[in-house]
Amino acid sequence: MQTHEIRRRFLDHFERAGHTVVPSASLISQDATVLFTIAGMAPFKPYFLGQSTPPFPRATSVQKCVRTGDIDNVGVTTRHNTFFQMAGNFSFGDYFKAGAIEHAWTLLTSSLADGGYGLDPDRLWVTVYESDDEAERLWQEIAGLPAERIQRRGMADNFWSMGVPGPCGPCSEIYYDRGPEYGIEGGPVADEDRYLEVWNLVFMQDMRGESDGSGKGDFPILGPLPQQNIDTGLGVERLAFLLQGVDNVYETDLLRPIIASMEQLSGKKYGGGDHQADVRFRVIADHSRSGMMLIGDGVTPGNEGRGYVLRRLLRRAVRSARLLGVTEPVMPTLMSIVRDLMSPSYPELATDYERIEKVAATEEKAFLRTIASGSKLFDVAAADLATQHVTTLPGATAFTLHDTQGFPIDLTLEMAAEAGLTVDVAGFERLMKEQKDRARADAKARKGGFADLSEYRRLLDQGATEFTGYSELQTEARIRGLLRDGVPVPAAHEGEEIELVLDRTPLYAESGGQDSDAGTIVGAHGAAEVLDVQKVDRKLVVHRVRITDGEFTTGAQVLAKVDPEWRLGARQAHSGTHVVHAALRQVLGPEALQSGSYNKPGYLRLDFAWDQALSAATRSELEEVANRAVRQDLPVRVLYGSMQEAQAMGAIALFGETYDDTVRIVEIGGPWSVELCGGTHVEHSSQIGPVAITAESSVGSGLRRVEAAVGIEAFHRLVAERTLVSQLASTLKVQPAELPGRIETLLDKLKSAEKELAGLRAAALGNVAGTLAGGAIDVAGVALVAATAPEGTAAGDLRTLASDVRGRLGDRPGVVALFAPAHASVPFAVAVNQGGIARGLAAGELAKAVLPLIEGRGGGKKDLAQGAGTRPDRIPEAIDALRAALLTAAG
């Protein structure tokens, strides 16, 4: 049975059983404590936590998931994947243990003709929590399982929680016996390779407390939940390899074709007895699929967060291909194969393929350049080791190559072997562990319990806040709730900052990149300034206000008013963002998709997928297209429809955003700009006013940012630039049009003067070098020059001067130590010539005699060392110490 069919049967089964089919949420997690969606229940977490009321009593989904905690084990074993699909069914206070068990057993064991998976009931085992007598009884009554195929396990295996205070409960796992060829008898407690877990049923019934840190089951059970819930997870990929009769997930229909393509490119065979080659084949299959799914959901390669994970996945795939002997780019081939395999379930991968492929191919090109630059650094390090007759590359060097150049350790190992070197792997792994420990500590610091949103939920249960701001700037409303730090209060008085919830509001809550509205709320007995407006659960609008007069009480009638000037600027900026986005796609192509934005009155910023800086000509063209759209007075139309209708119109959805069943579509100039958007907009493009591009920059690999001033702010900027040009022209006594030529002439003169000055400085330093070299003294057969450089010698010139003096000492062994005292620092340089090196002298070692006396830091190699201290008064003592160290070393 093909994987797509497994998905379809699961959803059909539960839809027939009265479940609402919920599409997969984005892989970009809405939970700030994790980067990616890591479980099928993640989109439903607010319902389980009681933060919001579920819109349906039961649901089902097949959720895209990515877990990267075991990324280093991917490929090494056949059990680990980064991307996987978790099918689940969920009940929110509806059915409980009996219903969950019946639904699962029916689907697994029903015949193919009846829509089931046709698994042999006699090969199914289950585990239950050690004290869950009810679950064991239900398995016997509903499924007819004999007692010997029901095993009890402790909290570590069969009790579920989110890892923080919140809902928890026992679970029951379903296993399939693959047969004696896969391991020993005895059920899941004896061998989880033979007995493969396919489905986990979580009976969410209790609330847990804070952990005391001693172990997995170290938290108290505070009591039962207000309602009992069901959360289940069936591993689609695991079930696929069972139903397809193969040994593991890498042999299934959605991964084996990727491996086959790499067999053709590399000329090597998967499963041919070369374990390392098999590992690389599996890494390529897993990571290329995960990479495509992440790019499809809007992640772009970067140096931190989600972007770093994606970069690592793509680069590990490219690296593995190179280690298989493939030298040509592989991402275009891999992405096309993954598209064909996954698009039957995720059609957006096909429609958005051009952008996805470009992001992956661009990252591959960047990595190949990294390999080239990393190879140069490796060659320098290897050559330095050779001069020192050392055959082990330090772990710190391997870590630097990995951390700063993205250079994989296995490539370092391979190149080291080719150079006749070994690598201090233990040292490398120690530094990697320290880095991971720091990251883990940071993640732990950010992770905590969930905020108490029960009061917000109570308010939301009274109904969503009605937003009236699309059609009016003033709305009469009733105060539904007053909260101080999330706790309800009956009244609030002048000077207090509180959260205020109305039944209706014209004030826009920050979302979709648009900043929240400014305004006021006025009642019969008080007035307040609106500081911020936010949404809870996308439906409840919460106003952060400062009471400026009188008092507010719950239930009072008020008038909520938007600052009209603020709203005008906000509308201009948000519509301007859409115009700039459309202009980008017109100038650069459809792959220049927005991946984030922010706008407020007078200002907009837009991030978009692109792999190179925009030239001055391109920026001018972008600005021209945007302002022509403004001048054409294009109509701005707002429509409402289903997501399918919006997609048929070509509407662009923002990555990471969540949309309701009915979406709002903003159209500017017909099909020229069509986006899903809940923001406030102008009615005609001419109302946007001028658009002035103010900046363009990189915000990560494959991601650029443009910033622009809009409306009156753009006009002010243009006026400021005009004033600046006028002032420059007046100062230089030329017409504005003549400024470029005049400035170029002045720059040429400045360069000539700087060149002449550099020549004079070099000549002066040369004279000083001759004088210093002539004053060399003999110390144990070594010519020593140890002196203070002339006053005014810059730290940057000190190294040049020391090298020049060293060169003037001739063939005799020589050491030069120069100091350049300043008010609070002592730059220094120590140089040793070839004769001195032959005598066993090293600049870096001699510098160590100087550093303690001047309380400095520094170091270097055999021929040159440099640094700086903080005690200029102790230079004479430092010179004496250097002379003593030289006597010892040379003697």
230's CB contacts (< 8 A; 6+ apart) are: 89, 90, 91, 94, 95, 96, 97, 99, 100, 201, 202, 203, 204
Q: How many CB atoms lie within 10 A of CB 468?
A: 18
Tokens at 590, concatenated: 């459809």
Q: Mapping DSSP to helix (H, G, I), strand (E, B) and coil, where does residue 657 land?
A: coil
Q: Residue 199 is inside which H or E element, if any?
A: strand 195-208
Residue 449 φ/ψ region, left for φ over 0, alpha for ψ in the -120 to 50 degree band, beta for the rest: beta
Q: How many CB atoms lie within 10 A of CB 816?
A: 30
In angstroms, the Cα distances linking 134 to 85, 138, 473, 572 are 30, 6, 58, 62
Q: Which of 363, 335, 362 is nearest to 349 (CA)?
A: 335
Are the C-beta atoms of residues 101 and 90 closer than 8 Å to each other? Answer: no
In angstroms, the Cα distances linking 337 to 128, 311, 369 are 41, 20, 25
**Quick one: DSSP state of residue 789?**
P
Distance CA 462, CA 480 (A): 9
Is 168 marked as a binding-site residue?
no
Distance CA 317, CA 250 (A): 15
In angstroms, the Cα distances linking 227 to 203, 538, 712 are 11, 24, 55
Three-state SS letters, 493-526: ECCCEEEEEECEECCCCCECCECCCCEEEEECCE
Q: How many CB atoms lie within 10 A of CB 615?
A: 10
Distance CA 744, CA 742 (A): 5
Query: Read out DSSP for 664-682?
Result: EEEEETGGGEEEE--S---
Residues pairing with 175 in the sheet:
125, 197
Three-state SS letters, 524-591: CCEEEEEEEEEEECCCEEEEEEEEEEEEEECCCEEEEEECHHHHHHHHHHHHHHHHHHHHHHHHHCCC
**Quick one: DSSP state of residue 142?**
I
User: Which residue in this structure is represented by tokens 């990555």?
Assistant: 655
Is 574 marked as a binding-site residue?
yes
Q: How many CB atoms lie within 10 A of CB 151?
A: 22
Longest Cα–Cα distance of the chain, Å, equals: 103
Three-state SS letters, 209-236: CCCCCCCCCCCCEEEEEEEEEEEEEEEH
Q: How far is CA 550 from the centre of its chain?
A: 46
Is 13 marked as a binding-site residue?
no
Distance CA 107, CA 120 (A): 12
Backbone angles phi, psi at 851, to 5 degrees: -55, -45
Q: What share of the chain is helix, strand, coil (3-state, %, to 5)?
A: 45, 25, 30
Residue 550 φ/ψ region, left for φ over 0, alpha for ψ in the -120 to 50 degree band, beta for the rest: left
Is 677 marked as a binding-site residue?
yes
Tokens at 465, concatenated: 């806040």
Beta strand pairing call for 782-788 and 814-819: parallel
579's CB contacts (< 8 A; 6+ apart) are: 626, 629, 630, 668, 673, 685, 688, 691
In angstroms, the Cα distances linking 682 to 508, 570, 581 are 15, 9, 16
Ordered alpha helix ranges (H), 324-467: 331-342, 348-351, 353-387, 395-405, 409-418, 425-446, 454-461
92's CB contacts (< 8 A; 6+ apart) are: 44, 47, 48, 54, 56, 57, 58, 59, 227, 229
* Residues of each annotated binding site: 574, 578, 677, 681
* Residues of each annotated binding site for Zn(2+): 574, 578, 677, 681
